[in-house]
Chains A and B, each alone.
Chain A
Amino acid sequence: AQSVTQLDSHVSVSEGTPVLLRCNYSSSYSPSLFWYVQHPNKGLQLLLKYTSAATLVKGINGFEAEFKKSETSFHLTKPSAHMSDAAEYFCVVSDPSGGYNKLIFGAGTRLAVHP
């Protein structure tokens, strides 16, 4: 079965400092992994996805994530936080067992960015 665990429910950083949001996954297949962001009262937006190509994936707004099979991790990073990055972030794994892209969401990490 596929699952993801987001290790921190809340992360707080100062503007201009690095961001690290941690995610571990469990998958019976070669996984497809995603990070989605949800700003208050907005829909979910795809930040980036890993689908067995390069292990370092670059996304929008300066975010990137590294797939580490040995550690079953897919942590999201950004070198320098901006106030507009404050949002909830979801690590997601795809379950292909039904022949389609069923998304399994982590519990989410709420990122706060302070001036």
Chain B
Amino acid sequence: GAGVSQSPSNKVTEKGKDVELRCDPISGHTALYWYRQSLGQGLEFLIYFQGNSAPDKSGLPSDRFSAERTGGSVSTLTIQRTQQEDSAVYLCASSFGASGNEQFFGPGTRLTVL
């Protein structure tokens, strides 16, 4: 079956613009995670969804970052008023349940803020 998909694969934007990144998890996976991979910070956890709720948003770096999930499926990560330090690869993962199950990763969205 299909794996985790993310769109767009690449996004170039100007500083100050808003961007939306999309994640389609594997069908039936109730847990969804966003991570960020950047040169200076490595791979960082951003947010975790169980169904449509987000019990852990502790990794979101500022209030410019938000995420939602609808229908227990697709998730959107929104970055408002983008800054150059937001440039990174944003990775989405999903798992069947939350505890002890393998997380399957999407290919990521490479965001470049000029």
Contacts and interface: CB of A to CB of B under 8 A. Distances in A.
A32 B95 CA distance: 16
Q: Which 6 A-B pairs have the closest CB atoms?
A: A100-B98, A105-B43, A44-B105, A43-B105, A43-B107, A107-B42
Main secondary structure of the interface of B (DSSP, over half): strand
Main secondary structure of the interface of A (DSSP, over half): loop
Contacts of A43: 3-4, 91, 105-108
Interface string B11-46: 000000000000000000001010100000011110
Q: Interface residue tally of chain B, by bracket?
A: 20 to 34
Interface string A82-102: 000000001000101011111
Contacts of B42: 105-108
Contacts of A105: 35, 42-44
